[in-house]
Amino acid sequence: MSSVFQGLISAAGRIKNGAAPITQYFRGLPLNAAGEVVFGAGPVTRFDQGMPFNAAGAIVGIQAANPSDYGPGATPYGPNGEIGIAALAAPVSNFFQGVPYDANGLLCVTQP
């Protein structure tokens, strides 16, 4: 599932993300006017194709040290189904299906 982030990678090799409002969608992902993926706080109110969303339609992510679980396509999840996101200081360790991960298997994004 994490392959849906392909094509949304910054020049620094991280997933471009930013603040709401959501103005468009790409592969089911909510994007703002700058074309950045919109992440938001929990709780998770629904899942769509393995992605957790809150009531406002943003993807629910959680900064973590390690994923609690992995889903399809090496998608890292937190304890309540959130997408596992690496700390901003964590360097990109590898790419899987064109998506950046840190050494612990968490997604690398541009902003908290």
- CA distances, 57 to each of 28, 71, 88 (Å): 10, 20, 23
* pLDDT exceeds cutoff 90 at 92: yes
> Whole-number mean pLDDT of the chain?
93
Neighbouring-strand partners of residue 38? 18
Mean pLDDT of 25-29: 94
Mean pLDDT of 34-55: 95
The amino acid present at 84, given as its one-letter code, is G
φ/ψ (deg, to 5) at 94:
-160, 165
Taking the C-alpha atoms of residue 7 and residue 3, their distance in angstroms, rounded to an integer, is 9
Chain Cα centroid distance, residue 89:
16
* pLDDT exceeds cutoff 70 at 1: no
**What integer pLDDT is reported at residue 66 of this predicted model?**
92
* pLDDT exceeds cutoff 90 at 50: no
Q: For the segment 51-79, what is each residue's pLDDT rounded down to a tens digit?
A: 999 999 999 999 999 999 998 878 899 99
Q: Are 64 and 42 in contact (CB under 8 A)?
A: no
Count of residues making up the chain:
112
Model pTM greater than 0.75?
A: yes
SS3 content of the chain, % helix, strand, coil (to 5): 5, 35, 60
- CA distances, 40 to each of 62, 91, 102 (Å): 9, 22, 21
